[in-house]
Amino acid sequence: LPSPELRLAIVGDPVSHSLSPAMHEAALHECGLSGSYKRVRTKPRQLAGMLDQLRRKGYDGFNVTIPHKESILPMLPTIDEPAQRIRAVNTVRLTDAGYRGYNTDSSGFERVIEALDHKSGPALILGAGGAARACIDVLMRSGWSVTIANRGSERLRSLPANTASMDLSDLRALQQAVNIADLVVNATPVGLNHLEESPLPDRIVFGRDAVVMDLVYVPLETRLLADAARAGCRVIDGLALLAAQAADSFEIWTDKRLPDEFFRQAAVEGELLTRARTFQYGQFGMPAGEEVI
Ligand code: NAP
């Protein structure tokens, strides 16, 4: 019998510019699997209904993105341990017991970190949302001492007890944390689509040889990474995590493992194709990026 079609999707809002369809469709093709990966734009009030609909239509799994990574938790019958700890799900697979939630931002980040020369030390995380919580969880478990700098104080209240935290506007404390950090990670959206914006205020300077990682990948070289590279730091762009989390999600759905580099390349090619289409049709005349399931 021919293998059944795998039905995959990304559920979120916005999803029209997601690179996940390009990565996962290339991976399906590479593994000789037939299937599809659709963009499913879903507003918060539509989420529960959308999960039912995906199940009725035989979807095998999907990615979850902004704004549902946290609010989906109570809607899933089972959730694996890291995702429960982090309180965020970015990958869902259909099992005999219904949908099961996972967090591959966490497993992907773990692999990116394992490839570093520094195995532990002081780390500074900018932001305290879902992505930051995945990074913090991984770093704490591998022995890093973590400081979190966030704009607001609300999210700082529910972070792990043995982390230090500060306000992003406390320039003195921020500069001190940057001075001693072996690793700085931007887990805020600042810099996304804005070449001139950095999550670090202008007066903050990279004084030593840290590794600086951005989770934002549009543009690929953000202002933060450009500043860090100029100061002599090693930089890791947002495609590193995008590719790593995609490789882990794909394995959860298919039991097939492809290298992170495969997903990175597919994302780059997907982005080039999107730009070519935008050039051809104009930003607003572009064929709809969202699909009906
Ligand atoms: P989230 O849960 O909404 O958290 C956003 C965080 O950024 C919060 O701590 C928020 O601070 C802070 N923030 C938002 N706007 C800010 C601003 N203008 N100035 C300073 N801080 C600001 O979002 P998330 O899911 O963690 O995602 C964060 C970023 O990481 C997004 O850009 C996302 O696309 C990216 N990401 C990338 C990957 C990847 O694969 N490369 C994976 C996951 C996420 P407040 O508490 O003050 O609101």
Q: Is 224 exposed, middle or buried (0-12, 13-18, 19+ CB in 10 A)?
A: buried
- Tell me what pLDDT residue 275 has: 72
What is the share, in percent, of the chain residues with pLDDT greater than 70? 93
222/229 Cα distance (integer angstroms) = 11
Residue with CA closest to ligand 1 atom 48:
152
- Tell me what pLDDT residue 220 has: 92
- Tell me what pLDDT residue 273 has: 77
Could you report the per-residue pLDDT of 262-284, keeping only the tens digit for each?
999 999 998 887 777 766 666 54
User: What separation in Å is there between the alpha carbon of 188 and the centre of ligand 1?
Assistant: 3
Out of 43, 57, 69, 256, which one is annotated catalytic?
69
Q: For residue 57, indicate whether it is catalytic.
A: no
Nearest to 245 by CA among 146, 54, 105, 47: 105
Q: What is the pTM of this model?
A: 0.94
- Atom number of ligand 1 nearest to Cα 152: 47
The finding on whether 242 has its CB within 6 A of some atom of ligand 1 is yes
User: What separation in Å is there between the alpha carbon of 8 and the centre of ligand 1?
Assistant: 25
Q: Where are the beta strands (DSSP E) in the chain?
A: 6-12, 35-41, 61-64, 78-79, 91-95, 98-102, 122-126, 145-150, 164-167, 183-186, 211-214, 234-236
Q: Name the β-bridge partners of 124.
A: 147, 184
Pocket test for ligand 1, best of 186, 215, 222 (most atoms within 8 A of CB): 215
- Tell me what pLDDT residue 285 has: 46
User: What separation in Å is there between the alpha carbon of 187 and the centre of ligand 1?
Assistant: 5
User: What separation in Å is there between the alpha carbon of 6 and the centre of ligand 1?
Assistant: 31
Tell me which of 78-87, 199-208, 246-255, 272-281 is least confident: 272-281
Q: Which position has the token pair 């000789």?
A: 32
- Asked if 63 contacts 91 with a C-beta cutoff of 8 angstroms, the reply is yes
- Tell me what pLDDT residue 209 has: 83
287 has pLDDT over 60: no
Could you report the per-residue pLDDT of 17-29, keeping only the tens digit for each?
899 999 999 999 9
> Using alpha carbons only, what angle is made at residue 255 by residues 10 and 218, rounded to the nearest 5 degrees?
35
The H-or-E segment that residue 182 falls in is none
What is the share, in percent, of the chain residues with pLDDT greater than 90? 84
Q: Please compute the mean of the pLDDT values over residues 196-200 and round it to a whole number.
A: 97
Tell me which of 29-43, 204-218, 272-286 is least confident: 272-286
Tell me which of 63-77, 173-187, 256-270, 278-292 is least confident: 278-292
- Tell me what pLDDT residue 166 has: 96
- Tell me what pLDDT residue 286 has: 47
- Tell me what pLDDT residue 241 has: 98
- Asked if 125 contacts 95 with a C-beta cutoff of 8 angstroms, the reply is no
289 has pLDDT over 80: no
Could you report the per-residue pLDDT of 127-162, keeping only the tens digit for each?
999 999 999 999 999 999 999 999 999 999 988 889
- The phi, psi pair for 95, rounded to 5°, reads -120, 180
Residue with CA closest to ligand 1 atom 18:
190
- Tell me what pLDDT residue 108 has: 98
DSSP code, position 17: T
